[in-house]
Amino acid sequence: MGRPPCCDNGGVGVKKGPWKPEEDIILVSYIQQHGPGNWRSVPENTGLMRCSKSCRLRWTNYLRPGIKRGNFTPHEEGIIIHLQALLGNKWAAIASYLPQRTDNDIKNYWNTHLKKKVKRLQQQQQPQTDHHHSFHTTNSNAAAAAATSCPNYYNPSSSSSSSTHIHSSHESMQSMEPYPSNEATTNTIPKLFQFQTWMKPSPASASAANYNGAMAMQEFQDDQEVAAAAAMASSIDACKDHTCAVIGDDKSSSLEMMMAAKMGHGEAGFLINLAEFALVIAV
DNA sequence: AATTCACGCAACCGCCCAGGC
DNA sequence: TGCCTGGGCGGTTGCGTGAAT
């Protein structure tokens, strides 16, 4: 069985490869009129010789307003490292904490920069390999370091204990710097248009409060945070399996709660203290 | 100046999931 | 209830570009 490819004409007439500026303009102007969604109709109605997926990706990863490209700050690096340790390669989930970044961008940045960086930092911080013996101390120290360096990582008053903190794209667009300064051709495209009337929250969007929480996370201070994040990441790696065995099946949720607790959370903090208590007993 | 190499990033591929019928 | 379809996601590829030789 198996599904046919999204471009089920067998690829005949479907253009691949880099997008041209004129194609971008066509796509953007169409979305300006109709809004994102119903991607299958986009190539049909615009005459673009692109498959619907390609159109969607081009929009979400490149043309969508509010996207910031390149130059990841230490704040963002710290967030990515933390969340990657928590959630694994759930780039879309990680991207939801960084509304200005796309999952593709984060994924690329992780693969090309941060993976090596974290590995190096973890090697510096964990020279010994006695896992069980060093676990508790390492965890505490790393957590303390991270908590000290970034007390507002999560916004205690706005985050929920849900495992999916998705920002509201509508709120995001209004509160973020709309068009970062890039000279790439494609970055000039969104500047040609205003996208406010039709901007609607994505189905996966959560509350603006979660977006505020995400933005609060960007209040990281300096390069030390990257090291702290790496320390946290290593501690998370160390305790991941233990935690899940104790707490339950929802690994990402449980770990996220732990993170939230370490940063000074409310209810989640209470729950996670219980979880950590159980964890210590288990270890 | 020419060639090779490494890296970064845009885009594609294939699988999965949710919703509609 | 099961099938079909569109949309979403993570992994991977391949091209462009700059550095090194």
A181: buried, middle or exposed (CB in 10 Å: 19+, 13-18, 0-12)?
exposed
User: Distance in angstroms, CA of A220 to C1' of C19?
Assistant: 33
Which structure tokens are listed for A98? 């960084």
Q: Are A94 and A83 in contact (CB under 8 A)?
A: yes
pLDDT at A212: 39
Q: Which CATH superfamily is domain A1-63 in?
A: Homeodomain-like (1.10.10.60)
Q: Which nucleotides of C are covered by protein (CB under 7 A)?
A: 4-12, 15-16
pTM for the complete prediction?
A: 0.62
Task: Determine the Cα–Cα distance for residues A93 and A108; give it in Å rounded to an integer.
Answer: 15
Who contacts A83 (Cβ-Cβ below 8 Å, separation ≥6)? Answer: A93, A94, A97
Distance CA A245 to C1' C17 in A:
48
Average pLDDT of the residues of chain A: 57
A19-CA/C15-C1' distance, Å: 13
A16-48 pLDDT, tens per residue?
Answer: 888 888 888 888 888 888 887 778 788 888 888
pLDDT above 70 covers what percent of chain A? Answer: 40
Which residues, by CB, come closer than 7 Å to strand B?
A: A 2-3, 5-6, 11, 15-19, 50, 53-54, 57-58, 61-62, 69-70, 104-105, 107-109, 111-113, 184
Q: Which two tokens stand for residue A165?
A: 């903190």
- The greatest distance separating any two alpha carbons of chain A, rounded to the nearest whole angstrom, comes to 63
A202-261 pLDDT tens trace:
333 333 334 334 444 444 344 555 666 666 666 655 554 444 333 333 333 444 444 444
Q: State the nucleotide closest to A57 in CA–C1' terms.
A: B11
Structural domain boundaries of chain A?
A: 1-63, 74-167+205-282
C1' nearest to CA of A116: which nucleotide? B7
